[in-house]
Structure 1
């Protein structure tokens, strides 16, 4: 029963992230009625709705786990997409997201949707760690045929004695967190 509870909480967490993005863009569209931007944001909202459907599908086939679907993708584009999902929330919280990469195209073999979820969870954590605003730096580099990605915030930090608990189910340092984002990312 505990495992089912963990699973349900994990799915709810995964659904909440895309819904947060959709809500943010919907609020933005209410403020600004320019047509070209409206179409761009509506497309993002539709992409996020599709991602919710994918997550729910994954939940429904848990008895029969889905294989990881690796495809060659541009990691720079994937991260730019995640940043665009978080940009409105970041601006609203006086946070500037800085992207730094040395190549426009860095092809990797990956499961794009799973990577998006990992980056979304980590970047959201960074944004939430800076309640007074600040800078979130996302860097991508190729070093010795490996892609190195770092995400750095200027937030409050995590006490050293709590670092080893990161990724444990339901462990959180946030007042309103549920402790599932990093577990799912790991």
Structure 2
């Protein structure tokens, strides 16, 4: 791993510079963090996966729970690399078969997250992954869903944190690991 003069991993700067910020999308006042440009840069994308794998390899994690939809991009390669299964956490009516669900609050209204019944077992250790944490609502719903069936959530991980929205505070005692913090 290469580091700069301050001892920081130079992969973080590469990842950060590969993320495009689009002002006023999807509505005025929003500074949208677009990871599609990160995905177009094979080195930065690999660096992203590698940093997560380095953190979680050997931590006895058996489940990587990815939040729809961008958690589906990062979760599977991490799960494969650390020898864990990947469990999709989806919006309502997207999973066939029996599901359990968790409702959560949005800025205007509520939404639900669902997971297949039997996808995880009590006592398993999970990592919850998404591309971004803003207010923390979706991560909290994923944690509650997993904990309801007896899974221990080891940590949450996101590529980007919008720190000024204070989503980290909503996670309570759950650890959050992020690569890039944006204000």
Q: TM-score with structure 2 length normalisation?
A: 0.29
Say which one has the larger Rg. Answer: 1
**Greater relative contact order (CA < 8 Å, ≥ 6 in sequence):** 1
Higher helix content, 1 or 2? 1
